[in-house]
């Protein structure tokens, strides 16, 4: 008795299309629908508005106002933001995947 009521409660808000998708794909669908940008992503776009082309390290140094080395948390967060922005079509890589620039469409 409790099992059927519990099952109905958990599946009532899931559409038929969602039931077909595996669990991992369902979570990815939710992530793609989120259109907002994070704080670092917004700051990276603002920096690329001011300067035409910069490396990830240059952006990290401007963002934190100190010398940044590779394989640090600060550099990694900027690189992650740049990759995400590239996937959304807001920035592009220039000069053999070294420099980044804001996309002209954005």
Q: What are 71-95's pLDDT values in tens digits?
A: 899 999 999 999 999 998 889 988 8
The topology under which CATH files domain 39-102 is Arc Repressor Mutant, subunit A (1.10.10)
CA distance 62 to 50: 11
* pLDDT > 70? residue 13: no
The full set of domain ranges for the chain reads 2-33, 39-102
Q: Per-residue pLDDT tens for 20-50? A: 545 544 444 444 444 688 888 988 999 998 9
* pLDDT > 70? residue 6: no
The predicted pLDDT at position 99 comes to 87
Q: With bands split at pLDDT 50, 70 and 90, how would you rate the model's confidence at 98?
A: confident
């Amino acid at each position: 008795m409790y099992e059927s009521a519990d099952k109905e409660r958990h599946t009532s808000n899931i559409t038929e299309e969602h039931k077909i998708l595996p669990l991992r794909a369902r979570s990815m669908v939710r992530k793609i629908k989120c259109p907002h940008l994070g704080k670092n992503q917004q700051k990276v776009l603002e920096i690329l508005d001011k300067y035409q082309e910069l490396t990830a390290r240059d952006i990290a140094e401007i963002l934190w106002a100190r010398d940044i080395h590779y394989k640090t948390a600060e550099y990694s967060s900027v690189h992650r933001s740049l990759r995400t922005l590239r996937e959304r079509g807001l920035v592009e890589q220039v000069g053999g995947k070294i420099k980044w620039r804001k996309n002209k469409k954005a």
